[in-house]
Amino acid sequence: VFDMLIVGGGPAGAAAAIYAARKGIATGVAAERFGGQVLDTLAIENFVSVQETEGPKFAVALEEHVKHYEVDIMDTQRAEALVPGKINEIHLANGAVLRAKTVVLATGARWREIGVPGEREYRNRGVAYCPHCDGPLFKGKRVAVIGGGNSGVEAAIDLAGIVREVTLLEYGESLRADEVLQRKLRSLVNVTVVTRAQTTQIEGDGGKVTALVYKDLRSDEPTRVELEGVFVQIGLVPNTEWLKGTVELSPRGEIVVDAKGATSLPGVFAAGDVTTTPFKQIVIAVGEGAKASLGAFDYLIRSTVE
């Protein structure tokens, strides 16, 4: 039985593990992919005290820091159910059941899909979600970026340096990205911005993407853009499907936490992108992970479970 079991091995989970292990309690981390979203990130320039680093490098540093302590790391393990109780159970996809006095849920989030015909069919055959991972595959080609928030505009700026042409499609009247990003975007000659555009279909030739169709919401007219790639950048979905019906979730599916990271279940805490805590950032996930871990430790020393 673990004193503290952390589900998820991103920045939040890693921080929780370090804080738990430093208390000398039996600590475990079960993660589908240790490192989390950071593995899909290129430059990180806002982790306070580290002027600049790269995602994979940061992920290695996270793991090394955790491994410096006595933590049972169970990588490539997917949690499928939480059974709460005096001793909580985490059921893994491989059939194993992990038992823990306290649990920290840190399963993060993933890219949101647009849900139009062609999106699933051409995933990884022209439809992409991670410009840092897949951008170079479209070198010299034409791509669209769907979404005019920070991630969409960042993606368009990033891709403009690699690809021939970028069309940025935004559903609303105007872009929602920070002004500094919009300024940068406007300075790029190979980027076209289309607002009031609703993507309706991604077309392909059976093998790969050939075009995107959007509806101009002002005229209701469909427009077809010939291209080779579509980057979907419309937000993040919390990884909580497996928790529905056990722990309280917000309408957006985020785990509801209090100031100590406590969830609706005694002994179950949560941290990072998976929670209602606003602003999904590494430095925030790390801080929240530490907080939830201390919250869980506080619970542990007050509980009577032997």
* Annotated binding-site ranges for NAD(+): 142-156
**Least distance CB 142 / ligand FAD (angstroms):** 22
From residue 170, give the alpha-carbon distance in Å to each of 90, 115, 153, 199. 40, 15, 10, 9
Strand 191-194's sheet: what is its strand order? 127-128, 229-232, 142-146, 165-169, 191-194
Among the listed residues 4, 25, 40, 143, the single contact to ligand FAD using CB under 6 A: 40
Candidate residues 22, 46, 136, 186; the one interacting with ligand FAD per rule CB under 6 A: 46
Binding mask 169-208 for ligand FAD (x = CB under 6 A): ----------------------------------------
91 is an interface residue for ligand FAD by CB under 6 A: no
287 contributes a contact to ligand FAD by CB under 6 A: no
Task: Assess 32 for contact with ligand FAD (CB under 6 A).
Answer: yes
Tell me: does residue 11 bind ligand FAD (CB under 6 A).
yes
Q: Does 20 bind ligand FAD (CB under 6 A)?
A: no
- Applying CB under 6 A, among 23, 78, 176, 196 the residue interacting with ligand FAD is 78
Cite the annotated binding site for FAD by residue number: 3-18, 263-273
Query: Residues 303, 265: contact at Cβ < 8 Å?
Result: no
Q: In angstroms, give the least distance from the CB of 207 to ligand FAD.
A: 27
Rounded CA gap, 243 and 233, in Å? 25
Among 39-47, 61-69, 177-185, 255-263, the segment contacting ligand FAD (CB under 6 A): 39-47
Residue number with CB closer to ligand FAD (8 or 126): 8
Residue 147 within binding range of ligand FAD, rule CB under 6 A: no
State the residues that interact with ligand FAD by CB under 6 A: 7-13, 30-34, 36-38, 40-41, 44, 46, 78-79, 106-109, 130, 132, 239, 242, 272-274, 280-283, 285
